[in-house]
Amino acid sequence: MSLHASSLYGRSPHIVIAGGGIAGLTTALSLHAAGFERITVVEAAAAIRPVGAGLNLMPNAVRELDALGLLDALEAGALPTRELRYYHRSGGLISREPRGLGAGYRWPQLSVHRAHLQQVLAGAVRARLGAAALVTGVRVTGVEPLPDGRPRLRLEHRSGAVRGRASLEPDVLVGADGIRSAVRAALHPGEGGPPWNGMLVWRGVSRMPARAVGSFMLIAGDDRQKAVVYPMGRPTGPGREVLVNWALARPAEPDRGEGSGFGSGSGSGAAFGCGDERLRGDWDRSVPVETFLRHYEGWEFDGVSVPDVLRAADSAHEYPMVDREPLDRWTHGRTTLVGDAAHAMYPTGSNGATQAVVDARALAHALARHDDPAEGLAAYESARRPAMTALQRANRRLGPEVVINLAHERAPHGFTDIHDVLPAEELAAVARRYAATGAFDPDTVNQGSPYEVPLPAIG
């Protein structure tokens, strides 16, 4: 066992992280905080660009970002999520529950634009590890093990002054390259692309007066058609406008040509057909709001009009609802996976970015506590994989959002009193079970970070 990360083998091991998204950047910062010195992040995109829409960070992830000294910077561009409300598609309120501080956590839940989170992380990597630690425009194209157990990465330089191919032989490789991970593909050849469940997701950001969106996170509909809307910033300007995140899901209509590039859906989460593999997990497919607006006419919940939110959007992005099959192994010798590369799951329960952050911290902690990096990576996997597998499976069953489906099944046309349809204890039990799956119940989270690495005293 070692708590002296920088003295492994008398030097700090060289750790390469493939992917500069939320998981990769947080891994770099966590390793640095744990005392590792030679860390390189290789990111395929030519630059860290402000892409994506909103996401929610749960208190267990905010706790870890706080431990990394990033809470103030993060909060400057985020909004605490204080309440979550589930609605029947007829407009009836199914339940409302406090979130974050109001739910008894010591840390808030945060609604934040993915771009803000990524910029805060990338800025901290450059400031703490040096600008050279984050290399953009370089794609990992393959990985193979060397006889001494180290990984050899094949790289392709796609922009900047240097173009062409190269290779790297670090001591440790962390695959943080998202749902279409090249590192995962090298470890699990033949797995293929992420399976599509036949649903389409549309996401976007709107700017509108704060009073038009309320101050809560809204989830409405059922398992066939859903809307999620929430503000993710404080009101600004004379119009007191806020940034509003929205995400919609419903089955593709193949006879209208919807999702024709993705293959045909089964709704089961199982892999099927081949479709256009390149499009699965693509976040850059822009479509006009008019493509799907008609499906949401009349969707209004306590004064929040979903069509009004959509009409105020700058742009909209469409992508297939994909996840990954749980793996029986993330770690192969000195190579492992974090974030979506390890356990991409359906966007339910605010766990995508949240669990990527927790992986990063757990990985750095485990590596710092073991002299042998392979043992450190194996310890990280045993600490994280069972719970992430359970979450991937829970999200295929709608996770905590199963309550909107239960209400729809039992009262398809609405209800007068929700408790005739869904007793309060049943509602509370769904939320409790889901929190226990990911160990993010208040009692566990409030015990503080289990991932702090005490650094050796200097002098």
Ligand X SMILES: Cc1cc2nc3c(=O)[nH]c(=O)nc-3n(C[C@H](O)[C@H](O)[C@H](O)COP(=O)(O)OP(=O)(O)OC[C@H]3O[C@@H](n4cnc5c(N)ncnc54)[C@H](O)[C@@H]3O)c2cc1C
Binding interface with ligand X (CB under 6 A): 18-24, 42-45, 51-53, 55, 114, 139-140, 176-178, 182, 203, 283, 339-341, 347, 352-353, 356
Nearer to ligand X, 342 or 427 (CB): 342
C-alpha pair distances (Å), 448 with each of 67, 74, 81, 451: 9, 19, 20, 9
Minimum gap (Å) between residue 286 Cβ and ligand X? 12
Residue 389 C-beta: closest distance to ligand X, Å:
16
Q: Which is nearer to ligand X, 51 or 429 (CB)?
A: 51
Is 380 in contact with 367 (CB distance < 8 Å)?
A: yes
User: Is the Cα torsion angle 192, 194, 198, 200 positive or negative in sign?
Assistant: negative
- In this structure, how many other beta carbons lie within 10 angstroms of the beta carbon of residue 455? 14
Read out DSSP for 62-83? HHHHHHTT-HHHHHTTEEE--E
C-alpha R_g of the chain: 22
Nearer to ligand X, 143 or 407 (CB): 143
**Helices H, strands E: what count in the chain?**
14, 21
Supply the minimum distance, in Å, between the C-beta of residue 212 and ligand X.
21
**Nearest-approach distance from CB 117 to ligand X, in angstroms:** 8
Longest dimension (CA), the chain: 72
Tell the smallest beta-carbon distance from residue 90 to ligand X (Å). Answer: 27
CB of 18 to ligand X, least distance (A): 5
Minimum CB distance to ligand X, residue 227 (Å): 15
Q: What span, in angstroms and rounded, lies between the C-alpha atoms of 378 and 153? A: 20
Q: What CA–CA distance (Å, rounded) separates 312 from 318?
A: 17
Judged by CB, which is closer to ligand X: 128, or 157?
Answer: 157
CB atoms within 10 A of CB 447: 10
* CA quadruple 77, 82, 88, 91: dihedral sign: negative
| CB neighbour list of residue 232: distance below 8 Å, 6 or more residues apart | 54, 78, 79, 111, 112, 113, 242, 243, 244, 245
CB of 358 to ligand X, least distance (A): 11
Q: Give me the residue whose beta carbon is nearest to ligand X.
A: 21
- Residue closer to ligand X by CB (options 338, 422) is 338
Tally of CB atoms within 10 A around 318: 23
Q: Which is nearer to ligand X, 22 or 213 (CB)?
A: 22
Nearer residue to ligand X within complex by CB, 23 or 422: 23
Q: CA neighbours within 13 Å on the CB side: how many for 177?
A: 27
* Nearer to ligand X (CB atom), residue 43 or residue 441: 43
